[in-house]
Chain A
Amino acid sequence: MSRLQAFLMRLAGTFQKEKTEYAFSEELEGHLQMHTDDNIRNGMTADEARRNALIKLGGVEQTKEIYHDRESLPALDIFLQDLRYGLRMLRKNPGFTAVAVLSLALGIGANTTIFTVVNAILLHALPVRDLPRLVQMDTVDGKTLVTQAKAIKLGMSVPNFKDYRRENQVLTDLAAILPTPLTWSGGAEPRQVQGELVSANYFDVLGMRPALGRFFMADEDTKPSGNDVAVLSYYLWANKLGADPGIVGKSLIFDARPYTVIGVAPRGFKGTLTFLSSEQVWIPTSMKDQILGGKEKEFFDDRRALTMLTVGRLKPGVEITAAEASLRTMATHLESEFPKDNSGRSVALTP
C-alpha cells in the first residue's frame, strides 16, 4: 500500500518539478544556516563555519540531484525531457517534419497496399487459368461525389455490361457477378449462405474446371426464371453436405425455390470477393427475379445503377493499358448514346 502511495507521489512529483525544487532549496538553506550557527557557536569563523556545513552536507547540487531522483520517476522524467526536446526540434524544422511525416505515411500506406495485394494474390490465389490476364472492370465516374472520395471501383450496370461484353475488341469475354445472401432451407434449420448471381460465362472467364459435375452452359442465363441450376463451392459441399459424392442432380432449396445442383467448384476457390464466406452458391443471373428483392431487383436493368462486378479476360497479346484505352473509347460512345445515364462515366481496368 505504502509503495503504491509512494509511486503515485513520485509520479505527481515528475510533473510539478519547479514547485518542489524550490521548497527543497529552502529546506537545504535552512539546514546550512542552522549548521553554520552551531559551528560559529563552537568557535569557528563565519567562513569556516559555512564551509564546514557544506562539506558535511556533501554538496548542495549533488544533494539536490539525489533528492530530485527520489522525488520523481527519473526514467519518466528523462523520457519527458526527450519528448519535449523532440517536439521542439520538430517545430523548429517544419520542412524536415513534413518530410518525415510524409515518409512514414507513405511507408505505412505502401505496406498496407502491398499486403492487400499479396493477400489477394498469394494467400487467396484463385485456382484459375492464367491469372495475370484476368482484369476487373469498373465504372469511373468523373462527375459525382463518389469519385472525389477516391472510390473508383464502382461496379457496372447490367445494360452497360451487356454492351461492353458484346462489342468490345480486347477481351475474350466478360462476366458479371452480383453477390447476394441466400436463405438455404430444407436442412435441419434454415441458414444463410453467401450467394452470387453470375453470368453463365463466369467460370469460363475464370478458366476453372469443376471438382464435380459441370459449370453453367453458355445459354443458361438467357431464359428469365427458367434456369434453376446452382453450382456449390467446394467448402459448402464439404462442410455442410458431408462431401456427398452424389450431390450432382440433387435439389437444394434457396430462397424457397428448388435448384438442381449441377456442379461443385474446385477446392481453393472461395469466390471473387475473398472477404466473403468461402461457403458459396452460384446461380445464373436469369434467376434474378427469384433471388433479388427491393431496390436491387428494381434497378437491375437500369443503365445507371452500378449493380454488378465485372471480370474479364484479356485477349492474347493485348496489354491491359491498350485494353483500357479501347474500352474508354467505347465508353465515350456509350456516353453520347445514353447521355443521361452515362454522363461523365468511363471505365478502368484493374488486374
Chain B
Amino acid sequence: MAEKLEVWQGTLALMVLKTLEALGPLHGYGIARRIEQTSGDLLAVNYGTLYPALLKLEQEGHISSEWGQSDNNRKAKYYKLTRTGRKFLDREERDWEQTTAILARFLAPTGEEST
C-alpha cells in the first residue's frame, strides 16, 4: 500500500472521543500520536487538522479543556470527555457499528453472486 488513507470526514471526532475515553485527559499532540498509533500507521493525520476538530467538540460541549504541564514540563492544553460527550460517544459508536455492519453485508461475498 503506497499511500496512507486520509481521515474520513466526521470520523476524526469519533476517534478523538474514543481516545479520550480510553486514556483520560490528554493534550492535542498526545491525541494525534495515539490516533496514528492505533491506526497502525495506516492513517496520515495532519496534526493541524486535529485542532479545529477539538475546538468544534469543545464548542458543542462534548469535551472540556484546561491548561496543564506535560510529562517533560511543557505547557499544554488538556482535553477531557464531558458527560454529554460520553453520551454522544455512545450514540455515535452504535450508529457507526450499525453502518459498518450493513456495509459489511453488501461487501461480504454471498453464494449466488460469487461465480
User: Contact residues of A with B, CB < 8 Å?
Assistant: 2-3, 5-6, 9-10, 24, 26-31, 33-35, 37-38, 56-59, 62-63, 66-67, 69-71
User: Contact residues of B with A, CB < 8 Å?
Assistant: 27-30, 33, 46-49, 51-52, 55-56, 59-62, 70, 72, 74-77, 84, 88
- Which single residue of chain A is at the shortest CB-CB distance from B55? A70
- Which single residue of chain A is at the shortest CB-CB distance from B36? A56
A181, B75: Cα distance in complex, Å: 82
Q: A2-B61, A35-B29, A67-B52 are in contact. Are A30 and B47 (CB under 8 A)?
A: no
Q: A24-B51, A57-B46, A69-B52 are in contact. Are A31 and B60 (CB under 8 A)?
A: no
Whole-angstrom distance from the CB of A288 to the nearest CB of chain B? 75
B28 and A31: CB pair below 8 A?
yes
A27 and B51: CB pair below 8 A?
yes
Whole-angstrom distance from the CB of B24 to the nearest CB of chain A? 17
Report B-chain residues with C-beta under 8 Å of the C-beta of A33: 74
A292, B2: Cα distance in complex, Å: 101
B51 and A67: CB pair below 8 A?
yes
- 19 other A-B residue contacts (CB within 8 Å) besides A28-B51, A59-B48, A63-B51: A2-B88, A10-B59, A24-B51, A29-B75, A30-B27, A30-B77, A31-B47, A33-B74, A34-B29, A58-B47, A58-B48, A58-B49, A63-B48, A66-B51, A66-B52, A70-B52, A70-B55, A70-B56, A71-B55
Report B-chain residues with C-beta under 8 Å of the C-beta of A31: 27-29, 47, 76
Report A-chain residues with C-beta under 8 Å of the C-beta of B47: 31, 35, 56-58
Q: A27-B77, A31-B27 are in contact. Are A2 and B48 (CB under 8 A)?
A: no
